[in-house]
Amino acid sequence: MSTSVLDMSVSLDGYIADPDDFLGGEDGERLHKWADAKGKSARTAARFQEQWNAAGAVLAGRRTAELMDHWGGDHGGLPIFVPSHRPPGPAARWGYPLVTYVNDGIESAMAQAKAAAGDKDVQVRGAYTGQRALEAGVLDVVQIHQIPVLLGRGRRLFDVLPSEIELEIVQVIDTPEATHIRYRGRR
């Protein structure tokens, strides 16, 4: 059975991007530099890369999908499901056959993504979509790569939640570049 995983890099103060959608630092990629680690940390980064590559589908928020140009129509060959109340733009509508816009809610979008993924993971992309999936009870795992930097402003990962949500720590991996924490929702 498929597992849905929200996998995000986040600053120590809870931001996933600055106000201009850059990921921090002079080159706009500070929050993702851990994935290019060298030495001992490279093995940890490689383990996460293997997880991402083993996914069977992607569930992405509309804003995230559009910022990434729908990853060119697929996410490494994976189908992409985008929950949205508005129809897709021209590229997603006609040029990207692996992109499906779902207009009947996050639950339906997740069900379709899990069906497409089979027994592989569904990678969830985007803060808003992650929040809505948590709220609806359809997000299985939250995986955070906490980066030792304070951005001070921007877009927070968990800005708006309807109530307190209990999580259980499943795994912690500490490296000089990031602390990787995997949580499972308590049901």
Share of the chain above pLDDT 90, in %: 57
Decide which of 93 and 125 is more confident.
125
Q: Residue 182 pairs with which residues in a beta bridge? A: 143, 171
Say if residue 186's pLDDT is above 70: no
Residue 187 — pLDDT band, cuts 50, 70, 90? low
Band (pLDDT 50/70/90 cuts) for residue 170 is very high
What is the rounded average pLDDT of the residues 136-157? Answer: 94
Please determine, for residue 157, whether its predicted confidence score (pLDDT) is greater than 90.
yes
What are the tens digits of pLDDT across the range 39-49? 767 888 888 88
Does the pLDDT value for residue 91 go beyond 80?
no
Q: What single-letter amino acid sits at 184? A: R
Indicate the DSSP class of residue 148: S
Q: In the predicted model, is pLDDT for residue 83 greater than 70?
A: yes
Q: What is the dihedral sign for C-alpha 155, 164, 123, 37?
A: positive
Nearest by Cα to 2 from 48, 49, 57, 60:
57
